Amino acid sequence: MELEAMVRSHKLERRYGLRAQVIVLSHDGHSLDGIIKRTGMTRPTVNKWRNRFRKLGVAGLKDAPRPGK
């Protein structure tokens, strides 16, 4: 599974690995509170990445474009 490879990767930035970990834990049936405890993320952050993954798949775990230069 691509997400599990992202979690284990040493070459990928840590933030992407954590985002993938949220999805893997969710898929494995962990509760929202359990995911929060294991990742150290806040509830809104965990919900953000779960929702973006539902809508966009793996591409949703990447940073969104930001305005400006």
Note down pLDDT in tens along the chain; length 69 residues: 788 888 888 888 899 999 999 999 999 999 999 999 999 999 999 999 999 999 999 999 999 888 987
- Tokens for 12, please give them: 């990928």
- 57, 42, 66: which is closest to 6 by C-alpha? 57
C-alpha angle 17-23-29 in degrees, rounded to nearest 5: 135
- 43, 66, 52, 44: which is closest to 16 by C-alpha? 52
The model's pTM: 0.87
21 with 49: CB under 8 angstroms?
A: no
